[in-house]
Amino acid sequence: MRCIKCPVKASVELRRHNSSFCSPHYLEFVRNQLARNVKRLRMFAPEDRILVAISGGKDSLALWDLLLEAGYSAVGLHIQLGIGEYSVRSAEVSQDFAQSRGAELIEFSLDQELGMGVPLLSRVLRRPPCSGCGLNKRYLFNKIALERGFTVVATGHNLDDEAATLMGNVLRWQREQLARQSPSLESNHPQMVRKVKPLYTLTERETASYCLIRGIDYVVEECPNAKGAHSLLYKDILNRIETESPGTKQQFFQGFLARMRPALQREQTVDLLACEECGQPTTGEVCSYCRMKDRVQNYIAVNAPNGASRRDT
Ligand code: SF4
Ligand SMILES: [Zn+2]
Ligand SMILES: [Zn+2]
């Protein structure tokens, strides 16, 4: 199998594009995908200051690498979630990458911010770990971006993530979530920063191939809390369909963006207010983050006045 751009033996095959590439031409393909997505959805301009959410996984590190390579002002933000060895390794990998590129990495610890990490938070809130974790990440990305003068937050979500989320939203007919699902979300409140997903046209396997060719070390293991998540089941189902019919995943998500989302968006009339406690956007008087924080502080005051984190195992 030869590269479609040159006579060299191909190292990556993309069945859905009916293409195969040698390593240099594969990197060119990925860079072109990023450039095309950024331009088509007007995600950001060269003068924007981009805050990149860094988990330590392949997608976020590939995105950061691509943005730095393209000359953007891209600073990483890693939130230490306190999920045992997984979080320790994620922080190390993120720090090593930043150091290798001479890039700035902002590190933030949930333990320091809240007084506890994701495992104890889940028990205090009596909600699955991903619920509290997601709430914290969404809130903190926006807050830190605002406080430090970033104009856009970029995440490494890929085509598999987006197609699986879409499948979940469709199976439950979640209209509001469907209307908000987009690779480029404009700010609709003065305290909300634009959010973009520049890798939304690349699959997980494609970002992994990019990291392999670029020699990027990333955390291969999934977060232990992802086990049994619906999103993994949807990804598996979509992958099985993709094997039989290459390109289905892409058609599913792109078709939604082109044909369904504009209609749903027109229906959306949610007015966002400023949270009475922190000023961040919310649909009620007090945002869900502040309500969560109150519960956490009450728990700490009653159960662990000398620090909850020591019990956070
Ligand atoms: S799997 Fe859940 S707990 Fe783990 S990092 Fe993702 S959202 Fe957080
Ligand atoms: Zn080639
Ligand atoms: Zn608030």
**Ligand 2 centre from 30 Cα, in Å?**
13
In this structure, which residue's CA is closest to atom 2 in ligand 1? 130
As a whole number of angstroms, the distance between CA 198 and CA 147 comes to 23
The preferred substitution site among 89, 116, 125, 130 for testing ligand 1, maximizing ligand atoms within 8 Å of CB, is: 130
In this structure, which residue's CA is closest to atom 5 in ligand 1? 223
In this structure, which residue's CA is closest to atom 3 in ligand 1? 130
In this structure, which residue's CA is closest to atom 1 in ligand 1? 226
Distances (CA, A) of 293 to 30, 118, 311: 40, 13, 18
In order along the chain (313 residues), what is the average pLDDT of each group of 10 residues?
Answer: 96 94 98 98 97 98 98 98 97 98 97 95 96 96 97 98 97 93 93 97 97 98 92 97 96 96 80 92 94 96 72 50
The preferred substitution site among 225, 227, 233 for testing ligand 1, maximizing ligand atoms within 8 Å of CB, is: 225
Residues with CB under 6 A from ligand 1: 81, 118, 129-130, 133-134, 223, 225-226
Q: Which atom of ligand 1 is nearest to the CA of 55?
A: 5
Tokens describing residue 232: 């993994």
pTM of the model: 0.95
Tokens describing residue 286: 């007090």
Write down how long the chain is. 313
In this structure, which residue's CA is closest to atom 7 in ligand 1? 130
Q: Residues whose CB is under 5 A from ligand 2 (ion)?
A: 3, 5-6, 8, 22, 25
As a whole number of angstroms, the distance between CA 37 and CA 39 comes to 5
Domain spanning 23-268: CATH superfamily:
HUPs (3.40.50.620)
**Ligand 1 centre from 118 Cα, in Å?**
8
What residues does 12 pair with on adjacent strands? 21
Q: Which atom of ligand 1 is nearest to the CA of 224?
A: 4
Ligand nearest to the CA of 26: 2
Ligand nearest to the CA of 53: 1
**Ligand 1 centre from 73 Cα, in Å?**
27
What residues contact 76, with CB distance under 8 A and at least 6 apart?
A: 52, 54, 64, 94, 97, 98, 103, 104, 105, 106
Structural domain boundaries in the chain: 23-268
Tokens describing residue 84: 């045992």
**Amino acid (1-letter code) at residue 157:** H
Question: How many CA atoms, within 13 angstroms, populate the side-chain half-sphere of residue 27?
Answer: 12
Asked if residue 132 lies in contact with residue 118, where contact means CB atoms within 8 angstroms, the answer is: yes
**Ligand 3 centre from 138 Cα, in Å?**
12
**Ligand 2 centre from 27 Cα, in Å?**
10
Ligand nearest to the CA of 19: 2
Pairing of strands 49-53, 12-14: unpaired
